[in-house]
Amino acid sequence: MAGASLSLNNIPVKVMSQHSHFLRLAQQSINDRVLIILQLHGGNDGLNMIIPAGQYDQYYSRRPNIAIPARNSVRRYIELDSTLPTEKQVGLHPDMIGAKDLYDRGRLAIIQGVSYPNNNGSHFRGRDIWHMGGGFEDYYSSGWAGRYLQSTYGHLGAYPDNFPNEQMLDPLAIEMGSDVSLVFHQEGNIPTSISLPGSPEGLKNLVESLEGFEDKEVDPRGFPPESQDSLYTEELNWILGLESKTEEYAERLYQIFSSASDTSVTYPETYPFAAPRSQLNNPLSGQLQIVAKLLDGGGAGQGVKTKVFMLRMGGFDTHADQVESYDPTLGAHAAKMYHISTAMQAFQNDLRERGLEDRVLTITTSEFGRRVFSNGGFGTDHGDGAPMMIFGKGVRPDVYGVNPDMSLNNVEMQFDYRQVYANVLKDWMQVDEETIANDVFFGQNFVNGDGYQPIPLALEQITSIEGFFHDRYRLNNAVPNPASDHTVISFHINATNNVKISIFDQKGTLVKQVLNERREPGEHQVRVDLSNVDPGMYIYKVESGLLNDSKKLIVKD
């Protein structure tokens, strides 16, 4: 892997491109789909993000000083989906209203208990394991995303000599921040980066102002050895070649970013409630806005063709002061839940506005979860499994797996993280199973000795979610209909909300206000007195959050 660090909107960006090793790998189908990896550094507490509502009493007993309230509180957890079985019933942190909206719109899936056997529990080693796509005893020098990209683009030739080219003008991956992640490493590559801080307007000028070496009689960094067989010569020439390509990438990214229109979507900037000052600003919004503008460019396919983006949020190592001592729904972790939820909601709206929503899938990762029980410092310690979230129009909305066993000290593994990556590669990025099993994951038997196993996480083709929505939000046929003295109007909602039911005549004039009150999730029936309504054709309408529907009603003598 090689990274060139740039800066857009004052956010450091690294670009990853292709080296010449592993060209033996078969060419993969190259589509316009994009994967975003959102890394939550520090080990996210999944139990206060996805609350085990079906096992709430045990949850509360294990972490009474930080547990999110279930009832008798304005800031109680948000019930995700009343249609799920008890073992899958979960609540979202009260500051994840945006995530609830995305789920109801069919743009969020939750995967419970993601880990790997013999979880390491170390930040750096654990992160490397997730990035390299291996097990706790593996020490790969390459990462799973790097190997995927290599299998897809290796047929285009050696990098940097043959990149950019007509088939691929853009970096294969773009990484936000100043670090170089193992996830994008490829065998035989040396990581290198050039720090180019600045605004988009100054990016091109900053790159061009770097002192070059092509026109120097003596390269100030030294001559490579004369022997062309030297490994040092090969690698140094590769590094210098990469630096010479940085200007090309910087110029193109600058032009694409500058040509993209600004969005009308408002991205969240600050957390509106109590939290440490360092956690108030949303660190994700700016990164997501850059991704949206780069993918859009000038519209009509003028954006970057980059396949994988990595974004980062830090500060999830919450050993102490995870919550405010006087209110477990507030504090540092709450702010992060708000930042993720609201920023991803804005991002999905932005993508839809730009006509890009069919192309982008986002997955969250964190090196481990937290312990089931809280500690005396209003925090949590290093644990094992944790939930992952997948956002996008291409997701299959659901809760995969069941609530963790709250009698244990750690959240047990239900899914190996490599299962998640493998299924996303197969269904979303459309990589064949043989390449996934052999070239990306080296034939590892990471699921009960069987390797890759299918999980329906993402869509091979974007389809309607009408069935998913109708199971959770619907207005039923009135019974009886035609009716004389009365009828019963029933409806189902999947979120606590105000429900308004009205009856109109054919001219749109309000005839009767049937209901206007707050209702809990579930199926509801309302008996409607029609004794004072003249015979004729009417429309009855329900309005409740995402549910806005109407049907005909015939009143007879």
Q: Are residues 427 and 531 in the same domain?
A: no
For the stretch 157-185, pLDDT in tens is 765 567 788 888 888 888 887 677 888 88
What was the pLDDT predicted at 1?
39
Per the structure, the complete domain to which residue 506 belongs is given by 473-555
Q: Are residues 496 and 391 in the same domain?
A: no
Its sign, for the CA torsion 90, 94, 95, 96, is positive
Q: Are residues 344 and 286 in the same domain?
A: yes
In the predicted model, is pLDDT for residue 217 greater than 70? Answer: no
| CA separation, residue 407 to residues 67, 77, 110, 412 (Å) | 15, 21, 22, 11
The stretch 132-138 carries a mean pLDDT of 94
Q: Are residues 498 and 438 in the same domain?
A: no
Q: Are residues 485 and 456 in the same domain?
A: no
Q: Are residues 359 and 284 in the same domain?
A: yes
For the stretch 302-352, pLDDT in tens is 999 989 998 999 999 999 999 999 999 999 999 999 999 999 999 999 999
Using DSSP's 3-state secondary structure scheme, residue 5 falls into strand
Total domains in the chain come to 2
Residue ending a domain, among 466, 489, 516, is 466
Residue ending a domain, among 411, 442, 466, is 466
Using DSSP's 3-state secondary structure scheme, residue 38 falls into strand
Burial readout 126-143 (b: 16 or more C-beta within 10 A, e: otherwise): bbbbbbbbbbeeeebebb
Confidence bin at 156 (pLDDT 50/70/90): confident
- Residue closest to 173 by CA, chosen among 276, 7, 305: 305
Q: Are residues 230 and 120 in the same domain?
A: yes
Q: Strand locations in 217-348, DSSP E?
A: 308-313
For the stretch 411-430, pLDDT in tens is 999 999 999 999 999 999 99
- Window from 88-97, 205-214, 497-506 with minimum mean pLDDT: 205-214
Q: Are residues 462 and 539 in the same domain?
A: no
CATH number at residue 545: 2.60.40.1930
Burial readout 388-413 (b: 16 or more C-beta within 10 A, e: otherwise): bbbbbbbbbbbbbbbbbebeeebbeb
In the predicted model, is pLDDT for residue 511 greater than 90? Answer: yes
